[in-house]
Amino acid sequence: MTTQAQAIAPLNPNEHAPYYGRYTSLVPGSDILNALQRQAEDMESLRSLSDDEAAFRYAPDKWSVKQVIGHLIDAERIFAYRALRIARGDQTPIEGFEQDGYVLNGPFERISMPELMNEYVAVRTATISLFRHLAPEAWSRRGVASNNEVTVRALAYIIAGHELHHRQVLKEKYFPAMARTAAR
């Protein structure tokens, strides 16, 4: 029996707006379900951050680590919702969202780090389950989200690439600045 992962064709750049190439290009290989699962395992390392560490901002006008994780959770929910609608054949255009407003109005700062990571795991588990159970033909269905045509397959890659982008920012900007602050 072939697995769903083997049946998913590689992503073609014409399946999403050019802007999203900055995310989809970060995803290695073509086994998107395995990539999403590995990311969930990799994110577990953030669970060890204390609430004080997770409140860190590398600059006053930047999100805290908790807010970055909250943003990943919110964005994944939205992208997965878009994938669900398009996979089910819903051709109603899907509106965009303003990420800064979501973060500003999110509860992330008052949620403990273990609780926030539990929420991340729950969302990622639901996302993987959604994609794992799609019919092969659903992956190539197209719809409109944020005034751009997108496929279900592209949305899976966008979710994975968006997380990789933000984890890179954490690695390059947050964690070195956090270490410098702790050394003082």
- Give kind and range of the element (H or E) at residue 119: helix 113-132
Tell me what pLDDT residue 184 has: 78
Q: What is the residue-level pLDDT of the chain in tens, covering all 184 positions?
A: 334 444 577 899 999 999 999 999 999 988 999 999 999 999 999 999 999 999 999 999 999 999 999 999 999 999 999 999 999 999 999 999 999 999 999 999 999 999 999 999 999 999 999 999 999 999 999 999 999 999 999 999 999 999 999 999 999 999 999 998 888 7
What are the residue boundaries of the structural domains of the chain, listed by start?
Answer: 29-183
- Tokens representing residue 37 in the block: 């699962």
Q: Closest Cα partner for 152 from 94, 86, 98, 101?
A: 86
CB 94 within 8 A of CB 85: yes
Tell me what pLDDT residue 7 has: 52
List 148's β-bridge partners, or say none.
Answer: 145
The domain defined by 29-183 folds into Four Helix Bundle (Hemerythrin (Met), subunit A) (1.20.120)
Tell me what pLDDT residue 8 has: 76
Q: Closest Cα partner for 103 from 114, 116, 93?
A: 116
Q: Closest Cα partner for 54 from 113, 101, 4?
A: 113
Rounded (10°) CA dihedral 158, 153, 30, 11: -90
User: CA-to-CA distance for 137 and 1, rounded, in angstroms?
Assistant: 18
- Give kind and range of the element (H or E) at residue 13: none
User: CA-to-CA distance for 21 and 13, rounded, in angstroms?
Assistant: 7
